[in-house]
Amino acid sequence: MIHMFFQYYFSRLGIIFEIPDIPGIIYETLKKIPRGMVTTYKEIAKLLGDKIAARAVATVLARNEKPDEIPCFKVVMSDGSIGGYSLGVTQKINRLRQEGIKVEGTRIINFDRVLFKLSDNQYYQVLKSLQRIQNTLHSQITFEQFNSKNTRYAAATDLSYIQLRNNFDLALAAVVVYDLLRRKIVDLVFSSILINFPYIPTYLAFREVPGILLALENLRVKPDLLLIDGHGVLHPRRMGIACHIGVLTRIPSIGIAKRILAGKISANRIKAGDKNVYPVYLDGKIMGFCIEKSGKRIYVSPGFGITLQDALDFVLKLEWEKGREPFLMLLAHKLVTRFRDILRRYLSYIKLEFRRK
């Protein structure tokens, strides 16, 4: 198998970030399935190195723009049902039957006989490699006492996406730097960068890090602390996106996520003003906190260069809106959403003008 990668170089930060071409690997793999055989979304995910990627495989196949060249009709559900198809279920059934595969209703007959188990082949499992990268970077995480009184500039990040063709997305990032002393924005950078790594739970960093790094390297005011929209060590491999960004930039970071990815929320409530705080345990240890306000929750954990307690204390001391998250995080979200909407309209206008010409 040909191993395909995209490499991003951030010269001002001195960082090289490499990402595997997941769609390219999937499409090349499909071409190797023998005539009269099928495989499953889960088999392809296991081939990539982690069965958690099964939904991402389905997303990649749904965006296949060359169904006659790349036979995604050969990918079905694990129970033998044929699943969906970009050209419609009827077309999928017809193409399967043309290869001699028997289909009754929406289910393949004698499924075990026609199942081509990709995971039996000794292909390179790229997600296993990404796990090893996460484990290596995790060994570089430090948790240090953090003096919030000496912290003047805090930066919040958020991302949004515009879907393009050929499984590429335009990743849009916003980094807003806030002066905690003067309570005003002192720097704001937007970035846009092409990315084709699909969303896969526990691998979010490999989709979003390039956009954030591109924005960070263009800041004029260096932040003392980064607030990242995502998890820190509250992650199955203790290596969420906030850890990635912190280790790579050596700037203290905190992960602030809207949904829990791993761990168990304790029933022991800690009252903090108008908020309720619950410890989140992972493998018997407190790795983060759930902060609840007005019935809505966020999940806080350290990413790099700050202790668990200091991360919680800092987030609680931030200005909060009536919503469920700190004002600074909400601001980054609103800014990048506005940036996306403006850019999307602009791209639509350009597309329309090309059609006219």
In this prediction, residue 149 has a pLDDT band, given cuts at 50, 70 and 90, of: confident
The average pLDDT across 276-286 equals 96
Does 199 have pLDDT greater than 60?
yes
Write phi, then psi, for 257 (nearest 5 degrees): -115, 155
For residue 34, give the DSSP letter.
P
What value, to the nearest 5°, has the Cα angle with vertex 190 and ends 173 and 222? 95
Does 196 have pLDDT greater than 90?
yes
User: What is the reported pLDDT for 4?
Assistant: 77
In this prediction, residue 310 has a pLDDT band, given cuts at 50, 70 and 90, of: very high
Report the distance separating Cα 231 and Cα 201, nearest Å: 11
User: What is the reported pLDDT for 294?
Assistant: 86
The average pLDDT across 325-337 equals 94
Does 357 have pLDDT greater than 60?
no
The average pLDDT across 202-208 equals 97
User: What is the reported pLDDT for 21?
Assistant: 94
Euclidean distance between the first and the last CA atom of the chain, given in angstroms as a whole number:
42
User: What is the reported pLDDT for 281?
Assistant: 97
Does 122 have pLDDT greater than 60?
no
Does 352 have pLDDT greater than 70?
no
User: What is the reported pLDDT for 13?
Assistant: 93
pLDDT, tens only, 164-195? 988 899 999 999 999 999 999 999 999 999 99
Does 332 have pLDDT greater than 90?
yes
Token pair for 301: 């954990």
pLDDT, tens only, 213-254? 999 999 999 999 999 999 999 999 999 999 999 999 999 999
Burial 17-38 (b: 16+ CB within 10 A, else e): bebbbbbbbbbebbeebeeeeb
- From the number of C-beta atoms within 10 Å of its C-beta (0-12, 13-18, 19+), residue 247 rates as buried
CATH superfamily entry for domain 139-345:
archaeoglobus fulgidus dsm 4304 superfamily (3.30.2170.10)
Report the distance separating Cα 213 and Cα 196, nearest Å: 16
Phi-psi region of 14 (alpha: psi -120 to 50; beta: other; left: phi over 0): left
Does 1 have pLDDT greater than 60?
no
Report the distance separating Cα 20 and Cα 100, nearest Å: 34
In this prediction, residue 147 has a pLDDT band, given cuts at 50, 70 and 90, of: confident
Runs of H (alpha helix) within 63-204: 89-98, 111-114, 126-138
Report the distance separating Cα 266 and Cα 279, nearest Å: 5
User: What is the reported pLDDT for 217?
Assistant: 96
The average pLDDT across 270-291 equals 95
The average pLDDT across 84-103 equals 92
Enzyme catalytic residues? 72
Domain range list for the chain: 5-124, 139-345
User: What is the reported pLDDT for 145?
Assistant: 87
Report the distance separating Cα 11 and Cα 3, nearest Å: 25
Q: Same fold for the domain at 5-124 and the one at 139-345?
A: no
The average pLDDT across 284-290 equals 96
Q: Among 111-115, 306-310, 346-350, which is the least confidently predicted range?
A: 346-350
CB 301 within 8 A of CB 271: no
Does 46 have pLDDT greater than 80?
yes
CB 205 within 8 A of CB 17: no
User: What is the reported pLDDT for 346?
Assistant: 85
Does 325 have pLDDT greater than 90?
no
Beta strands in 144-209 (DSSP E): 153-163, 169-179, 184-195
The average pLDDT across 75-102 equals 92
User: What is the reported pLDDT for 156?
Assistant: 97
In this prediction, residue 86 has a pLDDT band, given cuts at 50, 70 and 90, of: confident
Average pLDDT taken over every residue of the chain: 92
Does 317 have pLDDT greater than 90?
yes
Helix and strand totals (H; E) in the chain: 10, 16
Say which residue the tokens 């990709």 belong to. Answer: 118
83 closest CA partner among 43, 125, 27, 48:
43
Is CATH 1.10.10.10 correct for 5-124? yes
User: What is the reported pLDDT for 123?
Assistant: 59
User: What is the reported pLDDT for 355?
Assistant: 45
